[in-house]
A and B are shown apart, each in its own frame.
Chain A
């Protein structure tokens, strides 16, 4: 214990100092021991702290420091080597641990610091996320609101309901103070306050449409904030009321034409309505973006809904109008029918009632005429008779005309003598004509049938009327009446373009033309001639005493007979030609031969027995050729002339029914031609009938003709009657060899 290495203190230990050191060391040791305890305690509490190992180290360091200081307590006094040893060990350990800790801390402290920054960062992020969440939630809510609003708006087609609902729902969703809708007036120059949310009956506020604020709203497709002081926002009549923030949006009023087939509607419509929304003035609310969006979407939906409603209204209105019109038309039709029935009844009655007195007047006046009368009396009776005749004619005409217009007039068809009709007309007209020194000539075509089927009385009436007009309106000159059967080519007359008669087997078209050299008609009056009661200037000049109905009735009759009537005139003073064509039937019993009819005709009207029969005549001699042709043409044939055998063979065809050839010229071999023709037309019915005309009276000629297959021989010269009978025999029997 003597070899103590401890250093002898150079100064005697001060007691006070030593005491204080002692106490301090003690407390330090205490602190050093308690700190790790606290650390351990709190670390145990928190599970998160990541650096336990560091804490342990730190704890060890602190404990050792405390131990060191504790052991230091013993070194103040004399201490043994053990204590010194312990002290040294403790100090060594402490040194090691503290160095290690120090080194560790170099690594750890930056980490700890960065934890702090990360914490800050995370806090920021959390705040942001919060914000975003808030946004999404509001958007979703907006969407929900829009859907709900749209549903409400579109659930009705009534315009008022749509608008009212819009305002109500918007007001509710956005908690608005007031919401108003301004619609353009009819003139388009003003906006009229149509709907408001809270005010029940908006008075007729109008605002001119060209205010700058309104233009601003209309030109933007978005919601526009407007000043609370502008006229559209001042809807509350109370002066003190100042609304909160106000926005306005345009609502396009779409028309059907705005919807293109493939595109969305063009917003080039000119008409907009204005929707104004006001927030409550007492809250300090601002318009949020999502709210504005909501308003825009709603405005669009409203536009569509409104146009649907408008279209529906239109169609409903149109349908109502149509129904009304239908009812009116029905009523009118029934009234018209009643009127027609009434008129028919009236006519039926008057027909009889009017005619009876007329008949009495006429009959008795005629009887009176027969008695003894003074000249004055006679004159008076004649006047009475003339007037009553006129009246009777007028009544008949009127009644006839009205019956014809009904369609109740029917023709009485029967077989009658056509020639007799014309003769009758001539007889009736001759007295008057001769008094007026008018020359009347009647020209009936030879091919006109003697008998025809039709309405004789009305045909006569028509002819008489037309001829009577000609006589009436001519002061002098002549009147020519001609009648013939209308030929097929002539039936299509350019003067009557709508008239397409079709010739047939059992009917023909009678063409009658009455030409006069009277005062004529000016061309512009011609169409009026056939209208009822229309009298032209020229007709009014002549006191004809007619009613103007004559030609109208003729036209009706002619139409009933499926014909056409027209008048031609070159002008006033140049005479007039009346032409009409009517369809008449051909009586059956006269239709014996398959070709045509052979009527018994008066001798001065030469008949045609073979209309249109195609005949070929071959004759070298010009004169006899001409004579034969004349014969055949007179009989109505269609004659082709040839002068040589080659020409004959060239021209002949199966259209020619008969070939007449002159065989008596020497040197000309008609026989050869016959042989050739037999070769050419192998079938019997195609071949024309070959007839030889010869001046030779010998048997040889006849035999030769028969030998070569000719169908007949005729001796020249041929008379008209002979030719006629020859032709008819030939066509019936196909052979004729007259006794030479």
Chain B
């Protein structure tokens, strides 16, 4: 597939992600920060997000598995996850985290467990999407083209 086609596909895909609420404007900011001094910025941040989130989700699972749930700790983890996801622009994950925190304050175990599931679900979704996106970008760069800037008109 030639470069122009690939670029168009990328643009379309990105647009759908935004429309579906998986990514918000923050992700665009990240893309803007990428230049020739920092050519892999987005990839690095996204990878970091993935690592961080895996760890946090594991911790959350463990914490909520305890007989005596330490809600403070759980809240701390969720807070971190919320921060990360909002930094990267993973909107749905962030929203899920916000809901999670509310239930943590209430110390509602069942609700928090449900929230955890929700967060996990959202996270894996967005992870999938981001990986696809990044793969598309890589293909374009390998074919000699440049990654098009997306003007979302937000």
Interface residues of A (CB under 8 A from B): 443, 446, 606, 620-624, 626-628, 630-631, 633-634, 662, 664-667, 695, 716-717, 719-720
**B87 and A627 within 8 A (CB):** yes
Which residue of the partner chain, among A443, A626, A662, contacts B44 with CB atoms under 8 Å? A626
Closest residue of chain B to A634 (Cβ to Cβ) is B33
A127 to B51 CA separation, bound complex (whole angstroms): 139
8 contacts between A and B (CB under 8 A): A621-B83, A627-B29, A630-B38, A634-B32, A634-B35, A666-B72, A716-B86, A717-B87
Which residue of the partner chain, among B72, B75, B87, contacts A623 with CB atoms under 8 Å? B87
A446 to B33 CA separation, bound complex (whole angstroms): 13
**A665 and B76 within 8 A (CB):** yes
A224 to B72 CA separation, bound complex (whole angstroms): 129
State the majority secondary structure of interface residues on B. helix
**A623 and B33 within 8 A (CB):** no
A631 to B45 CA separation, bound complex (whole angstroms): 12
A622 to B38 CA separation, bound complex (whole angstroms): 18
**B86 and A667 within 8 A (CB):** no
User: Contacts A622-B52, A623-B87, A626-B44 hold; do A666 and B75 have CB atoms under 8 A apart?
Assistant: yes
A561 to B88 CA separation, bound complex (whole angstroms): 47
Q: Which residues of B contact A631 (CB under 8 A)?
A: 29, 33
Question: What 0/1 pattern do residues 60 to 91 of B give for CB contact below 8 A with A?
Answer: 00000000000010011001101110111100
**B83 and A716 within 8 A (CB):** yes
A606 to B36 CA separation, bound complex (whole angstroms): 11
User: Contacts A606-B35, A665-B79 hold; do A621 and B29 have CB atoms under 8 A apart?
Assistant: no
User: Contacts A666-B75, A719-B29, A720-B33 hold; do A624 and B38 have CB atoms under 8 A apart?
Assistant: no
**B36 and A443 within 8 A (CB):** yes
Which residue of the partner chain, among A446, A666, A717, contacts B79 with CB atoms under 8 Å? A666
Known: A623-B84, A633-B37, A662-B83. 18 other contacts (CB 8 A): A446-B35, A622-B48, A623-B49, A623-B87, A624-B84, A626-B48, A627-B45, A627-B87, A628-B87, A630-B30, A630-B41, A630-B45, A633-B33, A634-B38, A666-B75, A716-B87, A717-B89, A720-B32
| Interface residue? B17 (CB, 8 A) | no
Q: Which residues of A contact B36 (CB under 8 A)?
A: 443
**A667 and B72 within 8 A (CB):** yes
> Which of A443, A662, A665: most chain B CB closer than 10 A?
A665
Q: Which residues of B contact A621 (CB under 8 A)?
A: 52, 80, 83-84, 87
Q: Which residues of B contact A446 (CB under 8 A)?
A: 35
| Interface residue? B26 (CB, 8 A) | yes
The distance from the CB of B133 to the nearest CB of chain A, in whole angstroms, is 17
A465 to B72 CA separation, bound complex (whole angstroms): 69
Q: Which residues of A contact B82 (CB under 8 A)?
A: 695
> Which of B29, B48, B52, B82: most chain A CB closer than 10 A?
B29
| Interface residue? B3 (CB, 8 A) | no
| Interface residue? B25 (CB, 8 A) | yes
**B87 and A624 within 8 A (CB):** yes
Interface residues of B (CB under 8 A from A): 25-26, 29-30, 32-33, 35-38, 41, 44-45, 48-49, 52, 72, 75-76, 79-80, 82-84, 86-89
A717 to B44 CA separation, bound complex (whole angstroms): 18
**A626 and B45 within 8 A (CB):** yes
**B80 and A620 within 8 A (CB):** yes
Q: Which residues of A contact B80 (CB under 8 A)?
A: 620-621, 665
A565 to B107 CA separation, bound complex (whole angstroms): 71
A69 to B25 CA separation, bound complex (whole angstroms): 193
A667 to B87 CA separation, bound complex (whole angstroms): 20
**B86 and A695 within 8 A (CB):** yes
The distance from the CB of B119 to the nearest CB of chain A, in whole angstroms, is 15
**B86 and A717 within 8 A (CB):** yes
Q: Which A-B residue pairs are the 7 nearest by beta carbons?
A: A624-B87, A623-B84, A621-B83, A627-B87, A630-B33, A634-B33, A623-B49
**A627 and B30 within 8 A (CB):** yes
The distance from the CB of B146 to the nearest CB of chain A, in whole angstroms, is 11
A666 to B77 CA separation, bound complex (whole angstroms): 10
A667 to B80 CA separation, bound complex (whole angstroms): 12
The distance from the CB of A418 to the nearest CB of chain B, in whole angstroms, is 19
Q: Which residues of B contact A622 (CB under 8 A)?
A: 48, 52, 84
A230 to B147 CA separation, bound complex (whole angstroms): 115
**A717 and B29 within 8 A (CB):** yes
The distance from the CB of A61 to the nearest CB of chain B, in whole angstroms, is 161
A588 to B48 CA separation, bound complex (whole angstroms): 44
Q: Which residues of B contact A627 (CB under 8 A)?
A: 29-30, 33, 45, 87-88
**A666 and B44 within 8 A (CB):** no
The distance from the CB of B122 to the nearest CB of chain A, in whole angstroms, is 16
User: Contacts A621-B83, A626-B48, A627-B87 hold; do A666 and B33 have CB atoms under 8 A apart?
Assistant: no
A606 to B41 CA separation, bound complex (whole angstroms): 15
A621 to B97 CA separation, bound complex (whole angstroms): 15
A57 to B72 CA separation, bound complex (whole angstroms): 175
A732 to B89 CA separation, bound complex (whole angstroms): 30
Closest residue of chain B to A446 (Cβ to Cβ) is B35
A695 to B94 CA separation, bound complex (whole angstroms): 11
> Which of B33, B72, B76, B89: most chain A CB closer than 10 A?
B33
Closest residue of chain A to B56 (Cβ to Cβ) is A621
The distance from the CB of A361 to the nearest CB of chain B, in whole angstroms, is 47
Q: Which residues of B contact A623 (CB under 8 A)?
A: 45, 48-49, 52, 83-84, 87-88
The distance from the CB of B85 to the nearest CB of chain A, in whole angstroms, is 8
Q: Which residues of B contact A716 (CB under 8 A)?
A: 83, 86-87
**A667 and B33 within 8 A (CB):** no
A443 to B36 CA separation, bound complex (whole angstroms): 10
Q: Which residues of B contact A719 (CB under 8 A)?
A: 25-26, 29
A716 to B25 CA separation, bound complex (whole angstroms): 13
> Which of A620, A634, A716, A720: most chain B CB closer than 10 A?
A634
Q: Which residues of B contact A606 (CB under 8 A)?
A: 32, 35
Q: Which residues of B contact A720 (CB under 8 A)?
A: 29, 32-33
Closest residue of chain B to A633 (Cβ to Cβ) is B38
Closest residue of chain A to B41 (Cβ to Cβ) is A630
The distance from the CB of B82 to the nearest CB of chain A, in whole angstroms, is 7
Closest residue of chain B to A606 (Cβ to Cβ) is B35
The distance from the CB of A520 to the nearest CB of chain B, in whole angstroms, is 24
The distance from the CB of B25 to the nearest CB of chain A, in whole angstroms, is 7
> Which of B25, B83, B88, B89: most chain A CB closer than 10 A?
B83
The distance from the CB of B81 to the nearest CB of chain A, in whole angstroms, is 9
A624 to B79 CA separation, bound complex (whole angstroms): 12
**A666 and B83 within 8 A (CB):** no
The distance from the CB of B121 to the nearest CB of chain A, in whole angstroms, is 20
A686 to B38 CA separation, bound complex (whole angstroms): 32
The distance from the CB of B9 to the nearest CB of chain A, in whole angstroms, is 23
A621 to B32 CA separation, bound complex (whole angstroms): 21
The distance from the CB of B32 to the nearest CB of chain A, in whole angstroms, is 5
Q: Which residues of A contact B75 (CB under 8 A)?
A: 666
Closest residue of chain B to A631 (Cβ to Cβ) is B33
A124 to B35 CA separation, bound complex (whole angstroms): 132
A622 to B51 CA separation, bound complex (whole angstroms): 10
Q: Which residues of A contact B49 (CB under 8 A)?
A: 623
The distance from the CB of B128 to the nearest CB of chain A, in whole angstroms, is 18
